[in-house]
């Protein structure tokens, strides 16, 4: 990187753009993450800033796109709660369906404790990774 960039108060010490549309980054406190290029450009700034605003900056481009879609759909304030509830419900339903598939069940409530234990053991870090 040619110029210093910061996410919150932490300097970005490495970034990688090998995957189109994504940026992987490492901060000077060894935290790392992967975000879209648009999110990275919104949150990685030339000067440090209040870390409490990182998520606001990260999600600002996405929120802007969502609002543009809702505006173009001529959503009224009367429909706001309905639409946002439907979006939240859809995310929750998709999360539950994906979790159930991961565990090989038809519904998330059918997941058993032995299945949870099996998945956790499958993804345990090797002793040298800790």
**Domain stops at, among 46, 74, 102:** 74
Question: pTM of the full predicted structure?
Answer: 0.75
Kindly state the tokens that stand for 55: 């998520």
Query: Residue 125 has what pLDDT?
Result: 74
The residues pairing with 25 across neighbouring beta strands, listed in sequence order, are: 15, 33
Q: Find, among 46, 68, 43, 73, the residue nearest to 55 by Cα.
A: 43
State whether 87 and 69 are in the same domain.
no
State whether 66 and 87 are in the same domain.
no
Rounded to an integer, what distance in angstroms lies between the CA atom of residue 6 and that of residue 42? 11
**Domain stops at, among 74, 97, 116:** 74
Q: Phi-psi region for residue 74, left (φ > 0), alpha (ψ -120 to 50) or beta?
A: left
Q: For 34-91, what is each residue's pLDDT tens digit?
A: 999 999 999 999 999 999 999 999 999 999 999 999 999 999 999 999 999 999 999 9
- Based on the structure, what is the number of domains in the chain? 2
Q: Indicate whether 130 belongs to any domain.
A: no
Provide CB contacts within 8 A for 105, sequence distance 6+.
111, 115
Q: Indicate whether 7 belongs to any domain.
A: yes
State whether 103 and 67 are in the same domain.
no
């Amino acid at each position: 990187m040619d110029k210093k960039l910061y996410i919150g108060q932490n300097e970005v010490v490495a970034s990688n753009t090998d995957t189109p549309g994504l940026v992987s980054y490492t901060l000077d406190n060894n935290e790392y993450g992967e975000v879209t290029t648009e999110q990275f450009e919104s949150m990685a700034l030339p000067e440090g800033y209040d870390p409490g605003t990182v998520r606001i900056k990260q999600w600002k481009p996405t929120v802007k796109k969502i609002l543009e879609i809702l505006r173009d759909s001529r959503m009224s304030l009367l429909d706001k709660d309905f639409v946002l509830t439907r979006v939240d419900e859809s995310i929750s339903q998709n999360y539950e369906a994906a979790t159930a598939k991961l565990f090989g069940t038809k519904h998330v409530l059918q997941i058993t404790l032995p299945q949870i234990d099996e998945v956790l053991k499958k993804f345990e870090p090797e002793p040298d990774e800790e």
